[in-house]
């Protein structure tokens, strides 16, 4: 995780719209380790097209999440970057039991919104995961105990790997 700390970018105003660093060229994939070890064994799941059909993504479990065509998804709050009719998205549920900062890792550059009881949350930091592991970006949020909606939007493929972890 030390590598992540060096890669976290300060986010102006907390928004995740800043440019992501370039993805390094990799001769071969690297197995994630430490906190991200479960990334290598994602559990297949289907994102909801609406809040009622959204599955829970357990903390510390990587999910290989099947997404739907953007026009089929009924987001709780319009994503800041919704993507077009040729993109994919979906909705997941996150249950938090302990206050803290949480990292949401994605295997793509998809747009990510976290919605709480008072609406969309601002990220506290973002960067990319360990090089060559397939973790394209990591977005951090300060979360209190409760239920949150994860909205994935503007993904270029019909699936994406997602994982949520507490930030030590």
Q: Is the pLDDT of residue 137 over 60?
A: yes
Give the residue-averaged pLDDT of 38-43.
Answer: 96
Using CB atoms within 10 A of its CB, is residue 54 exposed (0-12), middle (13-18) or buried (19+)? buried
Confidence of residue 16 (pLDDT cuts 50, 70, 90): very low
Residue 71: phi, psi to the nearest 5?
A: -60, -20
Q: Is the pLDDT of residue 144 over 70?
A: yes
63-66 vs 43-46, strand pairing mode: parallel
The H or E element that residue 104 is part of is strand 100-106
List pLDDT tens digits, range 50-89: 999 999 999 999 999 999 999 999 999 999 888 888 999 9
Give the residue-averaged pLDDT of 130-157.
Answer: 96
The H or E element that residue 111 is part of is strand 111-116
Tokens of 1: 């995780």
The CATH number fitting domain 2-10+43-166, selected from 3.90.1310.10, 2.60.120.380, 3.40.50.10800, 3.50.50.100: 2.60.120.380
Q: Is 106 helix (H, G, I), strand (E, B) or coil?
A: strand
Instruction: Give the dihedral of Cα atoms 36, 31, 63, 148; nearest 10 deg.
Output: 20
Sheet containing 68-69: which strands, arranged edge to edge?
68-69, 88-96, 146-155, 111-116, 119-120
């Amino acid at each position: 995780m030390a590598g992540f700390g060096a890669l976290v970018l300060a986010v102006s105003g907390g928004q995740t719209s800043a440019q992501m660093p370039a993805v390094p060229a990799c001769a071969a994939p690297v197995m994630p380790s430490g906190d991200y070890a479960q990334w290598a064994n994602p559990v297949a799941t289907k994102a909801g097209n609406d809040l009622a059909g959204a599955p829970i993504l357990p903390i510390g479990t990587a999910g290989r999440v099947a997404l739907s065509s953007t026009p089929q998804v009924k987001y709780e709050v319009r994503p800041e970057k919704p993507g077009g009719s040729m993109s994919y998205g979906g909705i997941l549920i996150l249950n938090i039991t302990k206050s803290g900062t949480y990292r949401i890792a994605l295997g793509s550059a998809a747009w990510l919104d976290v919605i709480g009881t008072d609406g969309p949350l601002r990220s506290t930091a973002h960067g990319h995961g360990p090089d060559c592991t397939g973790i394209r970006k990591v977005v951090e949020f300060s979360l209190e105990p409760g239920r949150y909606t994860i909205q994935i939007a503007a993904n270029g493929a019909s699936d994406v790997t997602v994982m949520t972890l507490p930030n030590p």
